Amino acid sequence: MTPQKAAPVPESAQGRKPWIKKTPVEVVLEQIGKQEEKVVEMREELAHEERELAKLQQARKVLEAQ
């Protein structure tokens, strides 16, 4: 009998961190953090859209004045 070689480990599995179970408190705190980040991003996007709207409204005023 010949010795068997160990099955090669896929590259994607080599860099993974071990799974650590989170407490319910940690899960909720993580969700709160993600939601806060999402709200900040949405506020920035809203501010950008409001600036674009203001530009278009100024253009309308110019066009209607002619």
Task: State pLDDT tens for residues 11-64.
Answer: 555 789 899 999 999 999 999 999 999 999 999 999 999 999 999 999 999 999
Tell me which residue range forms the domain holding 42. Answer: 23-65
pTM (2 decimals)? 0.61
Number of domains in the chain: 1
Please indicate, yes or no, if residue 17 is contained in any of the structural domains.
no
Please indicate, yes or no, if residue 3 is contained in any of the structural domains.
no
What is the reported pLDDT for 9?
54
Please indicate, yes or no, if residue 52 is contained in any of the structural domains.
yes
Please indicate, yes or no, if residue 14 is contained in any of the structural domains.
no
* Confidence band for 2, pLDDT divided at 50, 70 and 90: low
Please indicate, yes or no, if residue 1 is contained in any of the structural domains.
no
What's the per-residue H, E or C state across 7-45? CCCCHHHHCCCCCCCCCHHHHHHHHHHHHHHHHHHHHHH
